[in-house]
Amino acid sequence: MSVTLPAPSAMDRVVGVLRRSPTFAIGFAILLFYAALAAFADLLAPLPPTLSFPYETLKPPGTGQFILGTDGNGMDVLSRTIYGARYAFGIAVPAGIIMVVVGIPLGLLAGWKGGWLDEVLLRVLDVLRAFPTIILAMAVVAAMGPGFLNVILVIGFLDSPIFARIVRAEVLALRNATFVRAAVAAGNPEWRVLLVHILPNVILGATAQLPLRMAWAVRISATLAFIGIGVQAPAPEWGAMIRQGAEYVISGEWWVALFPGLALIGMVLGLNLAGDGLSDLLDPKRRASGK
C-alpha cells in the first residue's frame, strides 16, 4: 500500500501490463493487426476478393497487379487472404460468445448444485474427450449441412462444455471458500450467493481461456473448410483457400495455399499468445508478487 504516491496514469498502467507479460503484448499486437485487416479489408485489399480474371489464373507473386499472385480461378490471393480475416473473426467471435453464454451458466450450476446436471456435464465431456473433436464436428456439420452459420453453431456448442468445465472447477474450489460460507451465513438467498459472490470471482479466470478457445475455433473452421464441409469456396475463407491451393502445390504453384496458411498460423498464434499472457496476468499469485 503506497498511499503517498500519485495515482498512476492510464498510460503507466498499459505500459506496466505490457512489460509484465510480453507474451500478452505480442499476442495482442498480432490480433490488433488482424482486426485492422478485417475492419479495413475494403481499403487494404487491392481487388475485390471474388473478382475473377479468367485469363490470369495461377500467376506467380509479383505478376502485374497481383502482389501475391492469383489462384486457379484467377482471383487475387492477397485480397482474398486479407478478406479471410473477416471470416476468421466472423466465426471466432460469435462462437466465443456462444461458449461464454452457454458454458458459464452451465458450469456455475453444475459446480454449485452437483447432482444430475454435474453428472451429465461430466459424461458429455468424457464423450468429447474420447472422440477427436474434428470428427465430431465433421459428423454434425455433415448432418446439418455446410454453411457459415452451421459452422459457428457447431463450434460454439461443441466447445461450451469445455468452458463449463473450467467454470465448474473454479466454482468447486470456491464452494467451500470462507467468504461463500460467510455469504450464506449473512442470509443471502442462493441465487445471490451464485450471482453476486461466486460469479464475479470465476468470470475473469474463465475469460482468460477465451482467446485459447477462439484459436481452436479458427483452426477447426479452417479444417472443416479444408475438408470441404465448412465455408464453401469461392468465399475467401483461409481453410477453403488452402484446400483449393493444395492441389497446385505439387505442380509448383505454391503461393495459392501458402499465404492463407501463413495468415491462419499468425492468427492462431496471436490468439494463443494473448490467451497465455492473459492467464499469467490474471494469476493472483503472480499479481501479488508484484505488489
Partner 1 sequence: MTLLEVDDLHVEFAARGLDNRVRVASALNGVSFKVEAGEVLGLVGETGAGKSLTALAAMGLLRPPARIPRGAIRFEGRPLIGLPDSAMARIRGRRMTMIVQSPLTSLDPLKRIGDQLIRMQRVHGSASRAEARAKAEAMLAAVRIPDPKRRMQAWPHELSGGMAQRVLIAMALVNDPALVIADEPTTGLDVTVQAQVLDTLRDLVRERGLGALVITHDLGVVAHYCQRVAVMFAGRIVEDGPVREVFARPAHPYTQALIASTPGRIAQLGWTVTGGTPPDLYNLPEGCLYRDRCLRAAPACLVAPPRREIGPAHGAACHFAGEAA
Partner 2 sequence: MTAPVLSVRNLVHRFPATNGAVHAVNDVSFDIAPGETLGLVGESGSGKSTIGLLVTRLLSPTGGSIAFDGEDITRASAATLRPLRARLQIVFQDPWGALNPRMTIGRLLEEPLLLHARQNAAERTAEARRLADRVRLPEAALARYPHELSGGQLQRVSIARAIANRPKLVVLDEPTSSLDLSVRAGILQLLDELQRETGIAMLFISHDLETVRLVSHRVIVLYLGRIAEQAAAAQLFASPAHPYTQTLLSAHLPPDPAVPLARHEVVGEIPSPLRLPPGCFFAGRCPIALPACTQATPAMLAVEPGHHAACLRIADGSNLLAQPEGTP
Taking the least distance from each CB to partner 2, the nearer of 50 and 201 is 201
State yes or no: residue 285 binds partner 1 (CB under 8 A): no
Partner interacting with residue 5 (select from partner 1, partner 2, none; CB below 5-8 Å by kind) = partner 1
End-to-end CA distance of the chain: 8
Q: How far is CA 112 from CA 145, 174, 195, 202, in A?
A: 37, 9, 11, 12
Residues within window 187-206 making contact with partner 2, judged by CB under 8 A: 187-190, 196-197, 200-201
Sign of CA dihedral 235, 236, 242, 244: positive
Partner interacting with residue 200 (select from partner 1, partner 2, none; CB below 5-8 Å by kind) = partner 2
Residues within window 18-47 making contact with partner 1, judged by CB under 8 A: 19-20
What is the distance between the alpha carbons of residues 249 and 71, in angstroms, rounded to a whole number?
11
Only segment of 17-25, 55-63, 140-148, 171-179 that touches partner 1 (CB under 8 A): 17-25
Taking the least distance from each CB to partner 2, the nearer of 168 and 197 is 197
Report the residue from 122, 183, 249, 269 that binds partner 2 according to the rule CB under 8 A. Answer: 183
State yes or no: residue 4 binds partner 1 (CB under 8 A): yes
Cβ atoms of residues 285 and 21 within 8 Å:
no
How many other CB atoms are there within 10 angstroms of residue 13's CB atom? 11
Taking the least distance from each CB to partner 1, the nearer of 17 and 212 is 17
Partner interacting with residue 4 (select from partner 2, partner 1, none; CB below 5-8 Å by kind) = partner 1
Residue 212 C-beta: closest distance to partner 2, Å:
23
Residues within window 102-141 making contact with partner 1, judged by CB under 8 A: none
Only segment of 5-13, 93-101, 164-172, 239-247 that touches partner 1 (CB under 8 A): 5-13
What is the distance between the alpha carbons of residues 92 and 219, in angstroms, rounded to a whole number?
9
Residues within window 153-182 making contact with partner 2, judged by CB under 8 A: 177-179, 181-182
State yes or no: residue 8 binds partner 2 (CB under 8 A): no
How many other CB atoms are there within 10 angstroms of residue 32's CB atom? 11
Residue 20 C-beta: closest distance to partner 1, Å:
7
Closest to 256 measured CA to CA, from 17, 27, 31, 68 = 68
Residue 278 C-beta: closest distance to partner 1, Å:
14
Footprint on this chain of partner 1 (rule: CB under 8 A):
1-5, 8, 12-13, 15-17, 19-20, 287, 289-291
Footprint on this chain of partner 2 (rule: CB under 8 A):
1, 177-179, 181-190, 196-197, 200-201
